[in-house]
Amino acid sequence: MTSPDSPPLASPSLPPSPTPSSPGPSSQLPQQPSLPPTGEVMVLALGRRKQCVLIALSILPNLFLAFLLSSDPLLTLAPPHHCHLAGPLVVNVSVPWERGGGGGGRPGEGGRPSRCQQYVNGSPPAVDCTAGWDYNVTEGLQHNIVTEWDLVCGQYWLVPVEEVCFILGMLTGCLGLGFAADRLGRSKALLTSLTLSVVFGVLVCVAPYPSVFIAMRFALAAASAGVYLTLYLTRLELCEPSRRLLVTVLAGLLSVAGELLLLAVALGFQSWRGLLGAGAAPLTLFLCYGVPGVFPESPRWLLLAGRSEDTSSFSGRRGSSRESRDDESFTELDLEPSGCSRPRLSYHELFHSRNIWKNICVLGFTSFISHGISHCYSSFRGDVRGDAPSFYWTYLLSVCAGGGAWLLLWATVDRCGRRGILLLSMTMTGLASLILLGLMDYLSETAITVFSVLGLFSSQATASLCIFFTAEIMPTVIRGTGVGVVLALGCVGRLSSPLMDLRNHYGYFLHHVVYSSLALLAVLSILLLPESKRKTLPQTLADGEQYRRPPLGRRRRDNVPLLVTPNPET
């Protein structure tokens, strides 16, 4: 019973059926051609088939981006080498013998020939190499930047510098092109990034000197990171909540396949110029995405920016709206009103969006830890035992761990939630690190390998889930910037790897201890995150502020009466 002063209750679950005098919604659409297309009309006009085609087009470039973003280990691998000897000189006689990293040894005592010194006329004292180096290449590329420009001994510092500049380039691309994707649109940022990737990919292949190579690699890393980021955003915004995880996992597995293909192509080309050219050349085919109608702008960004003049690519199938409605494509946009567009970002409102800043800080910190600690697991055995595993073993182990991490996310994240799996994977990362550090003197070789693989697997799962989680809870108006910031903080964590190589892994134990301690702190901070499982993507800053942490204990009950109550008489 309702009071006389209260308004009548209406149940939204029972919509009024169209009467003969009032035509249905399908017949009203053609009668209003002057109105701008709403979110429902734009989205439903795509249809399931076109949606799948666009998603496939957004996933395919990941196969070739791996050639540009994951080729550094092959390009900078330093093979065994010694001074080039002129004439019929014997290595064991003309080159000093090192034992345990120093000199003073003899052949047959478990050492190795010196890599940077030689005897003059076969007798002491030893001097630095004067005629170059001879390389014994058994793994990786036959000709990479180390062997071509002799980046060993006194010039070895250029290798970590190149790695640092490449990571800084990725950081710059994530921040700059992520912001551009929010302000200019996903399509324009994608085409700009693709064009720059092709241009700088060609320039890298013809670089004559190490300094030019490093500068071009910086620019190539920035452009490639922009392609990856804009494709990630567009792909996510083309999916309904139930398909977002599956599509993201497929894109991640294709990147893993690209890394395996990269190794196979490297064994075939045996030249770093051909390897990078094989990655840059296919990207020219994707420049056709700029052709009108091939790869349209993200519908979410168009709705937010109020770009009604750019919605022609979504209006070609308005007549089939009834069929598309049954298709359940983009159901999360059907409830959005047409007047929610915000062409400009209010920086004052962004500054006071505390919940958004909190989510960015927590996910950025977690991304920093997960990306930085991965290197500790990859090199732990070599740091502790002194005998580093082969390059192929390390590379394949890292790639397969990444593929397994994506499969784990696909199997668990939609069932257990984003926050729960992120908490579990970060906890496994910290525990594996603590066990390796605390019991390394008592663990066997098998146990060290098992816990290193476990830590590498869980850290890569954490890193991948951080990016996906950020893209889901950031509003469309700053989604590119938010995901770019989290990716950039992950790049900051990756900087520890070349910096440790520059110091010859001196102080690796303290480096690992710091990351392990921060991993435990990240576990506590993850509890502050909201849950985004199968929820709609937020559009505005106000929507993003509504993504708050669910209560840890019992849900609080209020005394506000429900607006809709069941009526047993009906």
Return the percentage of the chain with pLDDT > 90, whole number.
35
For 82-86, 121-125, 146-150, 182-186, which range has the lowest pLDDT when averaged over its residues? 121-125
More confident residue, 26 or 313: 313
Report pLDDT for 336.
45
Q: What is the pLDDT of residue 10?
A: 41
Contacts of 95 (CB under 8 A, 6+ apart): 82, 83, 85, 113, 114, 117, 118, 119
pLDDT for the residue 257: 94
Q: Please give the residue that has the higher pLDDT: either 562 or 527.
A: 527
Could you give the CA distance from residue 445 to residue 398 in angstroms, rounded to a whole number?
Answer: 18
The whole-number average pLDDT for the span 336-355 is 63
Structure tokens at 565: 């109550």
| Residue bearing the bigger pLDDT, 86 or 319 | 86
At 310 the pLDDT is 55
CA neighbor of 131 nearest in space, from 93, 84, 95: 84
Question: What confidence score (pLDDT) does residue 422 get?
Answer: 94
pLDDT in tens, 203-245: 999 999 999 999 999 999 999 999 999 999 999 988 888 889 9
pLDDT at residue 131, as a whole number: 75
pLDDT for position 459: 92
Q: What is the pLDDT of residue 436?
A: 85
Residue 45 has a pLDDT of 53
* Closest to 170 in 3D by CA, of 456, 506, 501, 487: 487
Report, as an integer, the average pLDDT of 310-339.
Answer: 45
Quick check: 552 and 527 in contact, CB under 8 A?
yes
Most confident of 436-445, 467-476, 541-550: 467-476
- Residue identified by tokens 């309904």 is 240
Ranked by mean pLDDT, the top range of 19-33, 76-90, 147-161, 335-349 is 147-161
The amino acid sitting at 454 is L
| 300 or 563, higher pLDDT | 300
- Whether residue 490 is predicted with pLDDT greater than 90 in this model: the reply is yes
For 154-173, write each residue's pLDDT tens digit.
888 899 899 999 999 999 99
Per-residue pLDDT at 215: 95
Q: Is 138 exposed, middle or buried (0-12, 13-18, 19+ CB in 10 A)?
A: exposed
CA distances 228 to 250, 252, 370, Å, are 14, 11, 19
The sign of the dihedral angle between the CA atoms of 32, 36, 38, 42 is positive
Q: What is the pLDDT of residue 319?
A: 45
Per-residue confidence at 369, pLDDT binned at 50, 70, 90?
Answer: very high
In terms of Cα–Cα distance, which of 79, 159, 81, 76 is closest to 115?
Answer: 81
What pLDDT does 381 receive?
A: 60
- For residue 356, pLDDT over 80 is answered with yes
- Residue 129 CA to residue 85 CA, distance in Å, equals 9
Digit-coded pLDDT (tens) for 46-98 = 677 888 889 999 999 999 998 899 999 999 888 887 777 765 555 555 666 66
pLDDT of residue 50: 85
CA gap 397, 407 in Å, rounded: 15
Cα separation, 566 vs 56, whole angstroms: 44
- Please give the average per-residue pLDDT across 459-486, as a whole number: 93
Give residue 437's Cα distance to chain centre.
Answer: 28
- 444 and 389 Cβ atoms separated by less than 8 Å: no
Residue 94's pLDDT is: 65
What is the predicted pLDDT for the residue at 489? 95
| Chain mean position to CA 150 | 32
- pLDDT of res. 329: 43
**What number is the average pLDDT over the span 363-369?**
94
Q: In this predicted model, what pLDDT tens digit does every residue of 105-131 receive, in sequence order?
A: 444 444 567 777 777 766 677 777 777
**Mean pLDDT of all residues in 133-151:** 87
Q: Which of 21-35, 186-200, 214-228 has the lowest mean pLDDT?
A: 21-35
Which residue reads 């816990």 in tokens? 451
Q: What is the pLDDT of residue 152?
A: 86
Enumerate the β-bridge partners of residue 143. Answer: 271
DSSP E strands in 89-183: the ranges are 97-98, 112-113, 117-120, 123-128, 133-135
Q: How far apart are CA 342 and CA 179, in angstroms?
A: 16
pLDDT tens-place string over residues 285-315: 999 988 887 888 888 888 877 655 555 545 5
